[in-house]
Chain A
Amino acid sequence: MADTLGTDWAIDWLRRSAATVADHRVELGELDRAIGDGDHGENLDRGFRALMAKLDAEAPPTPGSAFKMAAMTLMSTVGGAAGPLCGTAYLRAASAVGEVDILDAGALVAALTSARDGVVARGKAAPGDKTMIDAWTPAVDAAAAAQGQGVLAVLEAAATAAEAGAVDTDPLIAHKGRASYLGERAVGHRDPGAASSALILRAAADAAARNAT
């Protein structure tokens, strides 16, 4: 087994992301209603549905071009803060992987790291601010630690760490976005951006389990 992932995986990841966001649309909206404006599930679902329509019309030739298509589409159709944040994650991942057809474990870790760095730069949030960074940062750390064990291990570690990171936002006070206006009242609620990031990273692992070559 060559232990790499290719364009099929990248496209399958995007499709599985769209499916899981659609499945959790109401739940994400409820998380957001508790500490934000309630539109996170709707907005992400609208963006990923637009992305599915583009993928149906035109198959990207490389993982990087698939990520770039996701970036442009999400930034133009999500509408809320998740658009530029998720879009930037995909855009930086696209830059990190370049034009290659095949990604090994090292390339995946580099892509995830660049994606996380892009979200940090765009949103100017730090770990512990109760944002999607709190899912992304442990995911990147776990992915890097698993790099020697291959692509499946990298993405499984990232997804598991992101899920734990999202749960760990429950007791936090928010320091970014609308939730930051709530102070102590945000405590006890999960950050919707961390929750959706965990869903999307789980979709990457699920797609890898199907598409590893």
Chain B
Amino acid sequence: MTVGLVVVSHSAQLAAGVVELASQMAHDVALVAAGGMDDGSVGTSLDRIMAALDEADSGDGVVVLADLGSAVMTAEAAIEFLDRPAAACLADAPLVEGSVAAAVEAQGGADQAAVLHAAETAWSPAGSASPPGPSGPKAGGGAPAPLTSVFTLVNPLGLHARPAAALASELGALDVEIDVNGVDAQSVMMLMTLGAGQGAELHVSASGPEAQQALDVVRRAVESGFGES
């Protein structure tokens, strides 16, 4: 089981669309849309959110993403109504980017706190979210220089959403600090912001105990065209 996600929006179509997008990268995650009102009009409904919270929780907790004003307030109220309010938490995150980042993180088996963190840092500059930062203690501590390499994207679509999610997820499982073209390669959102297409060069810099494995992961993924022709 994984952490579940609930997407709350004023619009049923918007919530369903975000779920559709995020679930492409997270087949095993319970992603539940709670958009609009029971009568189909635009708005947010406590009943719908509470039903979605119940559906999304498989025991590992739920992270909630919400769009605007009353959606945020109604989601907060719904969480207060739970028998165990800690079972769900509301992410302070952009709806689309936060949902995608959270879904990828949940798919990788992360716990509720890590999924929340992924959502809330979906749109932050590389590195600013990770607690100590690569330029912190290890800079003066005699740590080895980062391993670097340059790869050229061969597949026609380049580093689009699906491979970005797969790569970030695989790298996320490694004990490594890794940047691609200056952004955190363990963040699917940051990889997608690169907009790297066919022929683009990826300048990779990795440090930490599993830096070499991480470079190998990137090499294999890029050279195989992310499994695409």
Taking a contact as CB atoms under 8 Å apart, the answer to whether A84 and B76 are in contact is yes
CA distance A91 to B79 in the complex (A): 13
CA distance A177 to B70 in the complex (A): 10
CA distance A75 to B50 in the complex (A): 11
CB-CB nearest in chain A for B68 = A81
Taking a contact as CB atoms under 8 Å apart, the answer to whether B43 and A83 are in contact is yes
Chain B residues with CB under 8 A of A83: 43-44, 46, 70, 74
Interface size class of A (residues with CB under 8 A): 10 to 19
Question: Is A87 engaged at the interface, CB distance under 8 Å to the other chain?
Answer: yes
Q: Within the complex, what minimum Cβ distance (angstroms) separates B40 from chain A?
A: 11
Quick one: given A77-B37, A79-B37, are A43 and B43 in contact (CB under 8 Å)? yes
Chain A residues with CB under 8 A of B43: 43, 78-80, 83
CB-CB nearest in chain A for B80 = A91
How many residue pairs between the two chains, A and B, have CB atoms under 8 Å in the bound complex?
54
CA distance A79 to B70 in the complex (A): 8
Quick one: given A91-B77, A122-B76, A122-B77, are A84 and B45 in contact (CB under 8 Å)? no
Task: Provide a sorted-by-A list of 13 A–B residue pairs whose CB atoms are within 8 angstroms.
Answer: A75-B74, A76-B48, A77-B37, A79-B43, A80-B43, A81-B69, A84-B44, A84-B46, A84-B70, A87-B77, A88-B73, A91-B80, A122-B73
Q: With contacts A82-B70, A122-B77 known, what are 6 further pairs, Cβ within 8 A?
A: A79-B43, A84-B44, A84-B46, A84-B76, A87-B46, A87-B77
Q: Within the complex, what minimum Cβ distance (angstroms) separates A71 from chain B?
A: 8
Question: Is A123 engaged at the interface, CB distance under 8 Å to the other chain?
Answer: yes
Chain A residues with CB under 8 A of B46: 72, 75-76, 83-84, 87
CA distance A117 to B10 in the complex (A): 26
Quick one: given A72-B46, A77-B45, A79-B43, are A88 and B77 in contact (CB under 8 Å)? yes
4 shortest A-B CB distances, which residue pairs?
Answer: A79-B43, A75-B46, A84-B73, A81-B70
Interface size class of B (residues with CB under 8 A): 10 to 19
Contact bitstring A103-126, B, C-beta under 8 A = 1, else 0: 000000000000000000011000
Chain A residues with CB under 8 A of B69: 81, 177
CA distance A91 to B74 in the complex (A): 13
Contact bitstring B67-97, A, C-beta under 8 A = 1, else 0: 0011001101100100000000000000000
Chain B residues with CB under 8 A of A84: 44, 46, 70, 73-74, 76-77
Question: Is A85 engaged at the interface, CB distance under 8 Å to the other chain?
Answer: yes
Chain B residues with CB under 8 A of A76: 38, 45-48
**A interface with B by C-beta (< 8 Å):** 43, 72, 75-85, 87-88, 91, 122-123, 177
Chain A residues with CB under 8 A of B198: none
Chain A residues with CB under 8 A of B74: 75, 83-84
Taking a contact as CB atoms under 8 Å apart, the answer to whether A85 and B45 are in contact is no
CA distance A79 to B71 in the complex (A): 9
Question: Is B42 engaged at the interface, CB distance under 8 Å to the other chain?
Answer: yes
Question: Is B41 engaged at the interface, CB distance under 8 Å to the other chain?
Answer: yes
Q: Within the complex, what minimum Cβ distance (angstroms) separates A30 from chain B?
A: 20
CA distance A88 to B48 in the complex (A): 17
Contact bitstring B93-128, A, C-beta under 8 A = 1, else 0: 000000000000000000000000000000000000
CA distance A162 to B157 in the complex (A): 61
CA distance A177 to B73 in the complex (A): 12
CA distance A81 to B76 in the complex (A): 12
Quick one: given A72-B46, A76-B45, are A81 and B37 in contact (CB under 8 Å)? no
Chain B residues with CB under 8 A of A87: 46, 77
